[in-house]
Chain A
Amino acid sequence: MRALALLLFAGTVFGQTSFPEAWPSYNGDTSGRRYSTLTQINRTNIDKLSLAWVYRVNPGRAPQAGGGNVNTTIKGTPVVVNGVLYTTIPDHVFAVDARTGREIWHYVWPSKGGWHIGNRGVAVLRETVYVETPDCNLVALNSKDGKEKWHTQICDLEQFYYASVAPIIVNTSVKNHVITGVSGDDLDIPGYIESHDPDTGALQWRWYAHPEPGTPEAKTWPSVEAMLHGGGMTWVPSTYDPDLNLLYFGTGNPQPVIAGQGREGSNLYSECIIALNPDTGKLAWYFQPSPHDTHDWDAVQTPVLFDGEINGQPRKLLAQASRNGWFFVLDRATGKNILSSEFVKTNWALGVDAKGQPIPNPAKQPKLDGALVTPNQGGAINWPSPSFNPETGLFYANAARAWSVYYLYDDDDKPEGWGGNDRGGVSDAMLQAIDYKTGKVRWSHKWPGNGGGVRSGLLSTAGKLLFAGDPSSNFVALDPATGELLWHTALHTSVTNGPITYELEGVQYLVVGAGDSLYAFAMK
């Protein structure tokens, strides 16, 4: 079974990627590197890349639950299995012929509500497609025709939860799992991650993003009540190391979000990179990028797994470019910090502690009269996926340097909800290439024109290419070693998801989402 798992998941993961004929899960393989070994499209022929097909999602006449227009922006990464591409918008799954872009089926979930901010995509195992819905359900569909097999509730809409993350399949030597996460930070609720039986949807375990009362970690909260209402949502897909049998993910901001005076302490396990045993849901280790966050800087960005060398020694590594502007390299077996550095300049930390975790500057916490802070609430990076290229040893992040003023609205001893917000600001967008051995930015490409956040994920390939969207509706290929611009094409709007690549019948396809459309490219 273990061998089967290795075959299924990235056969594997940290040396040679082996999923060229598919893009079987959110990040392609479970390492989160978004690196493909395909080379048909490469640096020498990229100028001959041509449009292969365009697919525009059509949700039909189904109204948006809760009113308003249907959110048709593709924010998820498509999954490609057996020549079929699956893409999503909230409440909708579309199966598309990955060769032609022709729709095979369209599934509509009869929604009860929830926040329709976006959907990150599906998971696929054998003949089942799994998707989360804004109204807190995990839905299993038959991959052949899109008919529902079952659904199960994974969170409580009444408590202001909602669901948006792409499920992840993890097959271990013990059992198979569908890993789900939850969202929502309006009203002080605990975040958690769950594992479900892929065949029935039955809950296997739930891990809450807070410690058990009475443990040393619980002392990072002033009270059990604050801890049990302390947030830590799990809204970006996990990564997985089959050799260590560890599942990795980040947790979101503590709650109340901005007004932190009622939750003094570092507020574990909010704002953490977490390693769990996927068979038991037991915590293996944690590392906290943003202790006592008061800026909404969810540390959910993909924990990227790769093997590398540190001081001449081979190491199993995990790296995250975090929303707070800091880059971390950890030993993924132990969680011990190897390196912490800024990938954009920030002004909120006093340095790092003995564990390598930034020390928040109390002066830069939200104030009644405002505190000038960088990054802003959108962060130095947000959910769009980074990429790690083992050939260059560089970690790529589509980043922003942004400023805003953080205001505290609620100075009560026990604030609830958000209790504040940020406002205004300027922002510069840039693509950062970070050397994982030094933490230094090897090269940086500032995107001209409109600043603001970039909502494009990244993809690097053995064809010596790095793909990214810029803030001006261009889909761009760069030299991953130098940042040199090699190719671009103008789309109808900015890239809104992470690009993918796969090979079918000898043709390498490159697919990217922009607004309501997927664009596929291939060689002429």
Chain B
Amino acid sequence: MRRLILLVLGSFCQHAFGQAGPYVRQEVDPAAADRGKRLYTQYCINCHGALAKGTEQGPDLIRSPLVLRDRLGDQIGPALKKLANHKSDLTKAQVTDLTHFLKDEIEATAKNRNLERPPNVLTGNAEAGRAYFNGAGKCSTCHSPSGDLAGVGRKYAAIDLQQRFLFPRRSKPLQVTVTPSGDQPVTGSLERIDDFSVALRDSSGEYKAWTRGPAVKVDINDPLATHNQMLDVYTDKDMHDVVRYLESLK
């Protein structure tokens, strides 16, 4: 059986490797794809399925090496004439339209890691979210529905609420205090830090930097640290409930 698979796949590969065809994928003409969709619906859909992903009666055309290799019908046209129970009398223009539809479906599938429409993340319970906000989550320690979160449900799309609740963006620069040994502490907005240096911009806008070492004390107060620690605490239910609650703050 292994040999059979190798033979089958090998034949596809040999065919593909052997051709010197164009390497740029067929550019989809939307109007032609629309016409092709109508042809597909009329002649192909019963066997190959609504999304061309195949049924028990016909193979998947999205994953088909023949369709993938096709350019403007040069593979599909001859195949339609050879294969039994296929519409063999389509005109060349109709076959071309059909390829535009199939290529459109292929390109959409190959790019479906990209978000086309926001998923519905409002599946939680707002009341449970409110309880978590004021209770176990301790969100109310720093946040208030009538204060910083007033109207937040109007301000952001639901998926952005979910992302900002879990991974809040910094609303102002991180503050750092650097205290060189025997010198006065300097506080400002952190510009950069690594193991070897630290730099800030003080309240006058001046850039100041130090080489890090035992003689230079660095204190960073990150207000988001608690948020990051909470990621280990939230359950997915907590997450969905809180998002539903935040969305209710209109």
Binding site for B on A (CB under 8 A): 66, 112-113, 135, 153, 156-160, 186-190, 206, 208, 212-214, 225, 228-229, 257-258, 345, 347, 363, 367-372, 374, 403, 405, 407-410, 412, 414, 416-421, 423-426, 447-449, 470-472, 474, 476, 485, 488, 490
A113–B239 touching, CB < 8 Å: no
Q: Does B206 lie at the interface of the complex (its beta carbon under 8 Å from any beta carbon of A)?
A: no
How near does chain B come to A162, taking the closest CB pair, in angstroms?
12
B120–A368 touching, CB < 8 Å: yes
- Size class of the B contact interface (CB-based, 8 Å): 35 or more
The closest CB in chain A to the CB of B162 belongs to A370
Residues of chain B lying within 8 A (CB to CB) of residue A186? 110-111
Residues of chain B lying within 8 A (CB to CB) of residue A403? 166-167, 231
How near does chain B come to A298, taking the closest CB pair, in angstroms?
15
Residues of chain B lying within 8 A (CB to CB) of residue A448? 193-195
Residues of chain A lying within 8 A (CB to CB) of residue B54? 225, 414
Partner pick for A485 among B13, B69, B110, B195, CB 8 A cutoff: B195
Partner pick for B63 among A187, A369, A421, CB 8 A cutoff: A187
B119–A369 touching, CB < 8 Å: yes
A153–B1 touching, CB < 8 Å: no
Q: Which of B17, B63, B119, B240 has the most CB of A within 10 A?
A: B119
Partner pick for A158 among B6, B65, B120, B162, CB 8 A cutoff: B65
Residues of chain B lying within 8 A (CB to CB) of residue A187? 62-63, 68, 106, 109-110
Docked CA distance A113–B239 (Å)? 43
How near does chain A come to B9, taking the closest CB pair, in angstroms?
7
Interface of chain B residues 88 through 125 with chain A (CB within 8 A): 106, 109-116, 119-123
Docked CA distance A499–B164 (Å)? 38
Residues of chain A lying within 8 A (CB to CB) of residue B12? 156
A157–B112 touching, CB < 8 Å: no
The closest CB in chain B to the CB of A473 belongs to B194
How near does chain A come to B242, taking the closest CB pair, in angstroms?
11
How near does chain A come to B217, taking the closest CB pair, in angstroms?
14
Residues of chain A lying within 8 A (CB to CB) of residue B114? 421
Q: Which of A347, A369, A470, A474 has the most CB of B within 10 A?
A: A369
Q: Does B83 lie at the interface of the complex (its beta carbon under 8 Å from any beta carbon of A)?
A: no
- Contacts A158-B68, A159-B68, A369-B119: A419 and B194 contacting too (C-beta < 8 A)? no
- Contacts A212-B5, A424-B163, A474-B196: A410 and B112 contacting too (C-beta < 8 A)? yes
Residues of chain A lying within 8 A (CB to CB) of residue B172? none
A372–B119 touching, CB < 8 Å: no
Partner pick for B166 among A347, A405, A412, CB 8 A cutoff: A405
Q: Does B84 lie at the interface of the complex (its beta carbon under 8 Å from any beta carbon of A)?
A: no
Partner pick for B239 among A214, A229, A370, CB 8 A cutoff: A370
Q: Which of A66, A212, A410 has the most CB of B within 10 A?
A: A212
Partner pick for B110 among A228, A417, A426, A449, CB 8 A cutoff: A417
Partner pick for A449 among B62, B63, B193, B228, CB 8 A cutoff: B193
The closest CB in chain A to the CB of B122 belongs to A369
Give the 6 A-B CB pairs with smallest separation, nearest first: A418-B113, A472-B194, A112-B23, A186-B110, A212-B2, A417-B109
Residues of chain B lying within 8 A (CB to CB) of residue A213? 1, 5
A416–B120 touching, CB < 8 Å: no
The closest CB in chain A to the CB of B167 belongs to A424
Residues of chain A lying within 8 A (CB to CB) of residue B68? 158-160, 187
A369–B123 touching, CB < 8 Å: yes
Q: Does B74 lie at the interface of the complex (its beta carbon under 8 Å from any beta carbon of A)?
A: no
Residues of chain A lying within 8 A (CB to CB) of residue B63? 187-189, 229, 416
Docked CA distance A426–B9 (Å)? 42
Docked CA distance A418–B112 (Å)? 6
A371–B236 touching, CB < 8 Å: yes
Docked CA distance A206–B13 (Å)? 12
The closest CB in chain B to the CB of A374 belongs to B231
Partner pick for A370 among B17, B53, B121, B196, CB 8 A cutoff: B121
Docked CA distance A409–B69 (Å)? 27
Interface of chain B residues 41 through 95 with chain A (CB within 8 A): 51, 53-54, 60, 62-63, 65, 68-69
Partner pick for B121 among A160, A363, A369, A485, CB 8 A cutoff: A369
How near does chain B come to A287, taking the closest CB pair, in angstroms?
21
Q: Which of A190, A418, A471 has the most CB of B within 10 A?
A: A418
How near does chain B come to A113, taking the closest CB pair, in angstroms?
5
How near does chain A come to B235, taking the closest CB pair, in angstroms?
8
Residues of chain A lying within 8 A (CB to CB) of residue B228? 426
Residues of chain A lying within 8 A (CB to CB) of residue B119? 368-370, 407-409
Q: List 17 A-B contacts (CB under 8 A).
A: A113-B23, A156-B16, A160-B68, A186-B110, A212-B1, A212-B2, A229-B63, A258-B113, A405-B162, A409-B115, A409-B116, A410-B112, A416-B60, A417-B110, A448-B194, A474-B194, A474-B196
The closest CB in chain A to the CB of B3 belongs to A212
- Contacts A113-B24, A208-B5, A448-B194: A420 and B113 contacting too (C-beta < 8 A)? yes
Q: Does B183 lie at the interface of the complex (its beta carbon under 8 Å from any beta carbon of A)?
A: no
Q: Does B234 lie at the interface of the complex (its beta carbon under 8 Å from any beta carbon of A)?
A: yes
How near does chain A come to B41, taking the closest CB pair, in angstroms?
18
Interface of chain B residues 152 through 173 with chain A (CB within 8 A): 159, 162-163, 166-167
The closest CB in chain B to the CB of A186 belongs to B110
The closest CB in chain B to the CB of A476 belongs to B195
Docked CA distance A158–B74 (Å)? 14
Residues of chain B lying within 8 A (CB to CB) of residue A419? 112-113
- Known contacts A159-B65, A369-B122, A416-B63, then 15 further A-B pairs from the complex at CB < 8 Å, ordered by chain A residue: A113-B23, A156-B13, A156-B16, A160-B68, A187-B63, A369-B123, A403-B167, A407-B115, A409-B112, A410-B112, A421-B114, A421-B115, A424-B167, A425-B167, A448-B194
Residues of chain B lying within 8 A (CB to CB) of residue A474? 194-196
Residues of chain B lying within 8 A (CB to CB) of residue A447? 194-195
